Structure 1
């Protein structure tokens, strides 16, 4: 009996050592060693990227094919409706795939368990399940798709909130790392350099937005967006330097970069043709710069979803150091359920980007996240970011 137990423990130890070697190995080594959770996350990211490309193709290039399908002939919005319907159907298929994975992997805590093997392997089954779940929405009536489109607004908002918390958590973690270093004096130079650079970029960004998007005094809305962003940066700095907080300059500087970027995205989302949006008017024609911008935006969204999905620890309750030290070697490297949940909400998010958060909004080819609804979603997201940062 003892011999059997010893053999079992040895096998478990060998498996743990093998997983540790894969974890600490190179990106290529993780793929070469077959099914493991580190390799699996890249495969799921690739599936998500392909779904994004399918949704874009359905919007920009599949309207002719969709028009021939009887189920789409009653589309009241014409070609725009066909493009929106195609995006939502691909998005629904992607959502169903990741939601099934979420339900089947939720609560997985140990490697080498059946749910761990399901998450990290069984690719032949998944390569059948994913296309099947992508095709099923194209067989559903438009009423169900429109209902999903309304629900997707909420799901996309959940995704933005998760992403927001993840970014703030990373910024605070980075600040704590610098403050907890033994050689704090040496790190202080790097902190000040990074903070100064971040504030400089913020100021330059604000000035450029005034030049590009508020060329005259009639652009009151853009002036308000930019000026309010400048005020929010000052507010976050004041909060961070308050004696009761004493967080230093790094976190408000990095958060300043984040809110300036969101403000820029919000104004960039204003519809083409607005007199205050000269940059958008200049890019009204489809050229290589427009195509490259679209591809970069698409890849950035996929990368953001991927990085947020593996960052499940920032949503766990804080543990003391003793609890962290007691974590077993066979614990899963990241929360599988959370990972798939982020991708499921990300499927709703990319649908909203491709249709401009409006199921009745026409979208030009090679555009993403354009429209007044998109603008206000970004603005509210910026304000929410400051609120979450202030409360954290």
Structure 2
């Protein structure tokens, strides 16, 4: 566990440093600097909260979240149009590079896992659970909700291929490229950080609510 935690923070810090070197080589790259700095601040905030004596959430989860946030920030900046001059890392336009392939594999894996786990656990979204007798023929999930989640996952994956913009022309070996993709990923990073922080401080703000 200690090795995993240390490795997570080391990987996240290395990613931050590389992003500053590759994507923010000059002061005029203010947008990239803002994205990277915001990611660093959020990681520091999450780590500080997790180490608070009242929270005591540990560092392992924060370290894994740090890697996830750095990846989202990295992916968002890599989704910027090729015309951006702040990206000093050469991009391959004739064939797919490792970042494109890795993003594709991670996206497929994440969508499949999310749709499978969420689609088969429809009861977690039920506000008022009704007690009813279960028979042997009952399935542990709702058909409608299961297919709805899978449809949402399929539509999300389709949007990756068009860069979240139907009026944008996608080039060969370019997946999820464009300003729409950039802001979707950055927003996802910030929302993920906000949700994680809320899971740590929520029980202390809403003391009368059961978070178990």
- Asked if Structure 1 and Structure 2 have the same fold, meaning a TM-score greater than 0.5 normalized by the shorter chain, the answer is yes
Once residues 338 and 204 of structure 1 are traced to their aligned partners in structure 2, the CA distance between those partners, rounded to angstroms, is: 41
- The 1:239–1:338 alpha-carbon spacing in structure 2 relative to 1, beyond 3 Å, is farther
Q: Deviations over 1:278-336 (max 9, x none)?
A: 23xx224212x44x654544343222221112213497179xxxxxxxx9987646665
- Deviation readout 1:240-276 (Å, 9 max, x if unpaired): 1222211111111111111111101110100012111
Q: Deviations over 1:106-139 (max 9, x none)?
A: xxxxxxxxxxxxxxxxxxxxxxxxxxxxxxxxxx
Name the CA shift for 1:233/1:331 in 2 (closer, same or farther; >3 Å).
Answer: farther
User: CA separation of 1:296/1:255 partners in 2, compared to 1, >3 Å: closer, same or farther?
Assistant: closer
Residue of structure 2 in register with 1:306 after alignment: 112
Q: Does 1:353 align with 2:154?
A: no
Aligned position for 1:382: 189
CA distance in 1, matches of 2:41, 2:122: 28
Q: Is the aligned partner of 1:220 residue 2:30?
A: yes
Task: Name the counterpart of 1:362.
Answer: 169
1:266 and 2:76 equivalent? yes
Choose from 280, 283, 289 the match for 2:91.
283
Gapped regions of structure 1 (runs ≥ 5): 1-189, 319-326
Are 2:9 and 2:63, in contact at CA under 8 Å, matched by a contact in 1? Answer: yes
Distance 1:255 1:376 in 2: 19
Structure with more of its chain in helix, by fraction: 1
CA distance in structure 2 between the partners assigned to 1:331 and 1:239 by the alignment: 43
Equivalent of 1:316 in 114, 124, 127: 124
Q: Following the alignment from structure 1 to structure 2, what is the Cα–Cα distance between the partners of residues 235 and 315?
A: 33
**Equivalent position of 1:129 in the other structure:** none
* RMSD (Å), alpha carbons: 2.6
SS at match of 2:4: helix
Residue correspondence of structure 1 range 315-354 to structure 2 within 5 A: 316=124, 332=139, 336-354=143-161
For these two proteins, the number of residue pairs brought into alignment is: 191
Q: Which has the greater radius of gyration?
A: 1
Mapped partners of 2:4, 2:141: distance in 1: 30
Q: Write the distance in 2 (CA, Å) between the matches of 1:390 and 1:227.
A: 18
Deviation at 1:207, TM superposition (A): 0.5
Structure-2 residue corresponding to 1:372: 179
1:253 aligns with 2:59: no
CA contact (8 A) 1:310 1:334 kept: no
- d(CA) in 2 for partners of 1:226, 1:270: 14
Distance 1:315 1:363, change over 3 A: farther
Q: Distance in 2 between matches of 1:315 and 1:195?
A: 33
SS at match of 2:109: helix
CA deviation string 1:208-238 (max 9, x = no partner): 1111111122211111111110000011111
User: 2:12 matched to which residue of 1?
Assistant: 202
Cα distance in 1, alignment partners of residues 123 and 45 from structure 2? 25
